[in-house]
Amino acid sequence: MGLLYFSGVAVLVVVGFLFGRSRAALAERTEPLHSRPNYHGAFVALSILIPMVLLFAIGVPIANHVTETEALNAYDPQIAGDQLRRGAVLRDIVALANERYAGQPSEALRRAADTYASLRAWSIYLIICGGIVFALLGIAFSLRTLSARFRARNRVEAVVKWTLFAAACVAVLTTIGIVASVVFETIRFFDRVSPIDFLFGLHWSPQTAIRADQGGSSGSFGIVPLVTGTLLITVIAMLIAGPIGLFAAIYMAEYATPRFRNFAKPVLEILAGIPTVVLGFFAALTLAPLIRASGEALGLNVASESALAAGIVMGMMIIPFVSSLSDDVINAVPQSLRDGSYAMGATKSETIKKVVLPAAFGGIVSAFMLAISRAVGETMIVVMAAGLAGNLTFNPLEAVTTFTVQIKTILVGDQEFDSAKTLSAFALGFVLFFFTLTLNVIALQIVKRYREQYD
């Protein structure tokens, strides 16, 4: 019914627009218009669109609610209090009304399904009729309001503004909602595990006994090994991607011939487009054995899943971020600054070092920060290449684990929703979120400081 309704809306809106526009075009022959005919058309279209959409958005939930309540009442007036049974019965009623019920329905169920079906038919009928009435009212209203001097343009602009405002609100509210739900679950987690143990504990093994009579571990939730693991991999990745990405960007922006640039830029973009799963198995199947073999040749003891392999591949993943963003900011440095430096008798590398890079510093820092956020948030490569073992170590040749990997491990598979183990994923998510937020704030501060100095 939604599809039907909205095709109707679309047709009416188009017709309304064309009608409003041609009427205005006609009127323009005798009298100058305040707004262009297109705005008259848009005004008519909006007068139809807004009430019809509002009717649907408000009417459908109400109609559904009434339909469901009445159907359940018809089944058993006492049922409203019992959440679990209510849900189950409702599913049965809907299935029966749609003639997909398997088995022999009871008398009460059949009655309820009849009520449901008839109320549903009625609400569809009402909403469609209501929509038509609203559309007609909208047309009537807009035709009465429209005149040559009517400021349709200003009205349409206002609607545009409010629509954009609504979109911004949705974005902000979604963010707030996600953060709130994570915070809420985190608080529940801290009912079970003390924040001190969580933040400063040196041991991570989230297995808890599922039944009280089961023996074994009670789980320990110290995140320090995850912090070191995440940092270790991120540092390795940045040691790779930082210099290579930045130098590549400098070469591309300052030295490369247009021909080389036209070839190299798309190649880098392809690197950025490789799914991280693919990079992950490159790390696990190609690089990790290589590192292990060369480590052993040197007499080192290398785990088959090592932080080094994951870090190197992660570095490869973020090279394109660093290089293409840095390339952009370096290109944005005005040529006049370079000319000023060359005219002083500076060489190319002096000019880059002393004028171009300082001028681009803020942008380069934010490119690095973005790359670090990517690295910290990356999961797939680490899952495949660095392992799950929560070792507390700074040795890049050992297996480590990270926040994202643990979150993924905890939430994969069937979970009990209020065990400490499951809830710990939210706490991890919260810490991760806090970490990237801090990173972004620092980056913004740096960028702002240097912008004040450099624009």
Partner 1 sequence: MNTMVKVSDIVPAAEAHAPEHGTKVVARDVNVYYGEKRALFDVSLDIPARSVMALIGPSGCGKSTFLRCLNRMNDTIPIARVTGRIEIDGRDIHSADLDVVQLRANVGMVFQKPNPFPKSIYENVAYGPRIHGLARSKSELDGVVESSLRRAGLWEEVKDRLGDSGTGLSGGQQQRLCIARAIAVSPEVILMDEPCSALDPIATAKIEELMDELRENYTIVIVTHSMQQAARVSQRTAFFHLGILVETGPTEKIFTNPSDKKTQDYITGRFG
Residues that bind partner 1 (CB under 8 A): 334-347, 350, 354-355, 358-359, 453-455
Nearer to partner 1, 165 or 454 (CB): 454
What is the C-alpha separation between 170 and 168, in angstroms, rounded? 5
Q: At what angle do helices 403-411 and 224-250 cross, to 10 degrees?
A: 120
What is the C-alpha separation between 307 and 284, in angstroms, rounded? 11
Three-state SS annotation for 268-308: HHHHHHCCHHHHHHHHHHHHHHHHHHHHHHCCCCCCCCCHH
What is the C-alpha separation between 425 and 411, in angstroms, rounded? 7
Task: Please report, for residues 360, 363, 455, the alpha-carbon distance to residue 332 in angstroms, rounded to integers and kept in the order given.
Answer: 8, 10, 11
Q: To the nearest whole angstrom, how small is the minimum distance from the Cβ of residue 160 to partner 1?
A: 37
Q: To the nearest whole angstrom, how small is the minimum distance from the Cβ of residue 347 to partner 1?
A: 6
Nearer to partner 1, 218 or 335 (CB): 335
Q: To the nearest whole angstrom, how small is the minimum distance from the Cβ of residue 259 to partner 1?
A: 12
Q: To the nearest whole angstrom, how small is the minimum distance from the Cβ of residue 451 to partner 1?
A: 10
Nearer to partner 1, 358 or 377 (CB): 358
What is the C-alpha separation between 378 and 314, in angstroms, rounded? 8
What is the C-alpha separation between 272 and 259, in angstroms, rounded? 21
Nearer to partner 1, 152 or 352 (CB): 352
Q: To the nearest whole angstrom, how small is the minimum distance from the Cβ of residue 358 to partner 1?
A: 7
* Residue of 115, 109, 19, 99 lying closest to 67 (CA atoms): 115
* Residue of 419, 431, 357, 400 lying closest to 204 (CA atoms): 400
Nearer to partner 1, 200 or 454 (CB): 454
Q: To the nearest whole angstrom, how small is the minimum distance from the Cβ of residue 349 to partner 1?
A: 11
Q: To the nearest whole angstrom, how small is the minimum distance from the Cβ of residue 332 to partner 1?
A: 12
